[in-house]
Amino acid sequence: MFFIAGFGAIAGAVGVVMLRDPFYAVLALVAHLLSLAVLFLLLRAEFVAAVQVVVYAGAVMVLYVFVVAYVGGREEPIGELLRGRGPAGAQLRLGAAILSGALLVELLIALLGTGLKAVSGDGAPYAPGPRTFGTPAYIGQLLLTRFLLVFEAASFLLLIAAVGAVVLARRRGGIEEDGDMNGRVLTPLDLVRPRETGTMAEGVGARK
């Protein structure tokens, strides 16, 4: 089971990096996230696995699919991807590949080589029960007692990110100039509501 899920995770990651079309890259990432959730289940992290499937592979990836469909992800020609632009681009890409290979070797040494005595083990003993390791009750208790400050900081960060996304993707104002609106292509959204709505719904409609 581990090898199936691990192979799925690595294959999904390779797909994200290699596939030309951003839409297929998003689908490969969904496959990667699902097999990673299986790995989390094997590690007795039930709640984290559930959150991974529902929030990550569900909500966040739907947002990605919307934006890819909206932006209409242009395909990068694979030859151009490999060659880069001229010799300098090719050298940069080769350097990037070498750098990431070195990073992989370093990580493997750091994770497996040095701490092998401490790492190689089947983990702590585990007894099934309603409030044992990894269940929602356990996670919730930790999150609301010991990690309460972290929890509040995370919620505040989410609020800031939501406001920031609305400001960034707003139809008018923000970092966009008004002069750009004149030459803009008319979309179906413009027909169903006035263009100068300045509300939150503007930002929500603009995300699609």
Q: In the window 99-158, what residues touch other proteins (CB under 8 A)?
A: 99-101, 103-104, 107-108, 111-112, 116, 119-126, 133-134, 138-139, 142-143, 147, 150, 154, 157-158
Closest CB to other proteins among 112 and 201?
Answer: 112
* One character per residue 186-205, x = contact with other proteins (rule: CB under 8 A): --------------------
What are φ and ψ of residue 129, in 5° steps? 175, 170
| In contact, 141 and 134? CB cutoff 8 Å | no
Q: Per CB under 8 A, does 160 bind other proteins?
A: yes
DSSP readout, 101-141? HHHHHHHHIIIIITTHHHH-S--S-----TTSTTSHHHHHH
Nearest by Cα to 161 from 54, 29, 48, 60: 60
Q: Per CB under 8 A, does 74 bind other proteins?
A: yes
Angle at 79 between CA 77 and CA 84, to 5 degrees: 95
Q: Which of 4, 78, 96, 200 binds other proteins (CB under 8 A)?
A: 96
d(CA 5, CA 44): 15
Q: Per CB under 8 A, does 32 bind other proteins?
A: yes
Minimum Å gap between C-beta 33 and other proteins is 7
Kindly state the number of chain residues that form the binding site for other proteins, as judged by CB under 8 A.
90
| Residue 22 CB neighbour total at 10 angstroms | 20
* One character per residue 43-72, x = contact with other proteins (rule: CB under 8 A): xxx-xx--xx--xx--xx--xx--xx-xx-
Minimum Å gap between C-beta 66 and other proteins is 8
Closest CB to other proteins among 180 and 196?
Answer: 180
